[in-house]
Structure 1
Amino acid sequence: MSTPDQPFASYHLWSLIAPASGQERWHCQMRRGFIKARQHDPLVKALLKTATAPQRIGLLAQKGVYEFHHNRHLLNSEDGVEKVAQLLKLNYSSDEVQQRVLQILKKYHEEPLLSGKRIIQLTRGDEGFPKPILIERENYSFRLYATMDCVFSDSSDTLHILDFKTGKSAFDTRQALVYLLAARYLYPQYQAVASFYNLEFSKKSELISITKGELESLEFELASIAQKHQRDLQRYQLTNNSFSKIFPPNPGYHCRFCPFNSICDFSSLKPAKVHLPR
């Protein structure tokens, strides 16, 4: 097998390795194994391609915001919501997805958060992996991936990184911190802040900022995460029969929300084996 590429880090990898505060009991390292070590297995690959309703809603909501600002006249048009829904081909989605996305589009049409802002970057959400940022220091090097939904300038010297959310999940500050580290390299001329905005509930987070010293500590932590993950991948490639030891399972009620429960040998949803007497 080929040697893994240079270590990489991202908010997604960080969330797979370490749970958010208060989520420890539901965290499962085997999920990381499926996503990052066995992603080319046919069964895993098929499951990764299948988007859940919450994932579809999040992606279509992001695309909707993009279309409103890509076709600015739609923000002031009475049929703007219907036009954007057509651009999104929303009628091909399930009833739940259609209803929730339409509500999001209506809310945004009534109160367009980015109206009047100097938008530097606004993504559709389906562009794929961004170009990595190569971070090299004397003691470590890794590639940093940071997919930012929206970047705009608040003033001449302040950059605002905005991440859109849907659903009821809590905001994870770690995601904003990764964006602020990326901004240090992508937009060094700016002071940066970050925030979250839930398009479904019109809920804003507080502004999140970070000091230079905190950025350096964050960079070191992400380098450690990148190195740990690379070591795990190397161990798996050498002895792939040790999958459950390298990526230990944590079965429980949360298995019902895991996309891999149908192929996971440790899923709590699998019926227990019954040994009949001979």
Structure 2
Amino acid sequence: MNKIWQFSSYNLWSQFAPPVGQEQFHCDMKRGFAKARKREPQVAPLLATDNTPQRIGILAQKGVYEFHQNPQQFSGKDGVEQLAEILQLSQESATVQERVLVILTNYHQHPILSGKNIIKLNRGDEGFPPPILILEGNYQFNFYAAIDCIFAEPDGTLHILDFKTGKSEFDHRQAYLYLLATSYLYPQKPAIASFYNLETGKQSEPITTTVDTLKAFQIEMASIAKRHQKDLKRYRNNPDEFNIIFPPNPGLNCFYCPFNSICQFSTVKLEVTA
């Protein structure tokens, strides 16, 4: 069987179209660096290095995982300190240490998965999950969905829970895509999805869907996969048109972009060299 190169995911969709209200922070050139130029010597090391929000997210997920691997930590007063040692938190930056300690303390006090029938709980550093092969019309593509946690409600309904950190609003598109993935992974099971912010304690209402809605999201994922492959092909054939194929949007978002040190359009770079 031929390898399927076409793929789609929430991450890729968010690089095409940001959540509502975040348009000013969107830059399609980031997708170009991350997907089209990812193997270049200047780009690869930047992709291999986690930024501060990424480190916090990974360690937060690991913290939840370790709590439930060793439930006795919930009853101990020094459970947070023990977990900080397991995560080697002392080796992280001061900002990461401070925020992750808050997250661990919050979860130690309010472990929302305690007593749940956990079916799947990711550690947070597994990398890409196995792809789901989707056939939409006559078009095949791999769909990736890195689900943080699945537990069963008392009535058997699967509950997909996505952990968040930071201050960003929940993007419900992600929940629908996880429900799409679940419809393939557990086709006979009803499912709902929700978000929980480990840092603030904010939780969304459960999100439900219909067969027609999932079909619409599947069609959108197929469209994203096709558009992305078209852009990659255009870039391979016309590398000098990088900024046309993946147009930049310089501004405040440059301060948080991992590619600001090598991007000719970055306002951060311009300010430093001025």
Calculate the TM-score normalised by the size of structure 1. 0.93
Residue in 2 aligned with 1:41?
40
Deviation at 1:251, TM superposition (A): 1.2
- Structure 2 unaligned blocks of 5 or more: none
Instruction: Report the 3-state secondary structure (helix = DSSP H, G, I; strand = E; otherwise coil) of the residue aligned with 1:42.
Output: coil
- Partner Cα distance (1:266, 1:242) in 2: 14
User: In angstroms, what is the RMSD of aligned CA positions?
Assistant: 1.5
Residue in 2 aligned with 1:192?
191
Deviation at 1:204, TM superposition (A): 0.4
Distance change (3 Å), C-alpha of 1:5 and 1:263:
farther
Instruction: Report the 3-state secondary structure (helix = DSSP H, G, I; strand = E; otherwise coil) of the residue aligned with 2:184.
Output: helix
- Partner Cα distance (2:60, 2:10) in 1: 21
Deviation at 1:6, TM superposition (A): 2.6
- Structure 1 unaligned blocks of 5 or more: none
- Which 10-residue stretch deviates more, 252-261 or 34-43? 252-261
- Partner Cα distance (1:11, 1:191) in 2: 21
Conserved? CA contact 2:136–2:222, under 8 Å: no
For 1:89-104, what aligned pairs fall within 5 Å after superposition? 89-104=88-103
Residue in 1 aligned with 2:118?
119
- Partner Cα distance (2:98, 2:24) in 1: 33
- How many residues align? The count is 270
Residue in 2 aligned with 1:257?
256
Residue in 1 aligned with 2:105?
106
Residue in 2 aligned with 1:226?
225
Identity %: 57
Amino acid at match of 2:66: E
Deviation at 1:5, TM superposition (A): 4.9
- Partner Cα distance (1:25, 1:103) in 2: 30
Residue in 2 aligned with 1:9?
8
Residue in 2 aligned with 1:157?
156
Residue in 2 aligned with 1:69?
68
Deviation at 1:22, TM superposition (A): 1.5
- Partner Cα distance (2:268, 2:203) in 1: 37
For 1:73-88, what aligned pairs fall within 5 Å after superposition? 73-88=72-87
Calculate the TM-score normalised by the size of structure 2. 0.95
Deviation at 1:55, TM superposition (A): 1.4
Deviation at 1:25, TM superposition (A): 2.5
Superposed CA deviations along residues 144-192 of structure 1, whole A, max 9, x for unmatched, are 0000110101134310000111111111111111100000000112111
Amino acid at match of 1:222: M
Amino acid at match of 2:172: T
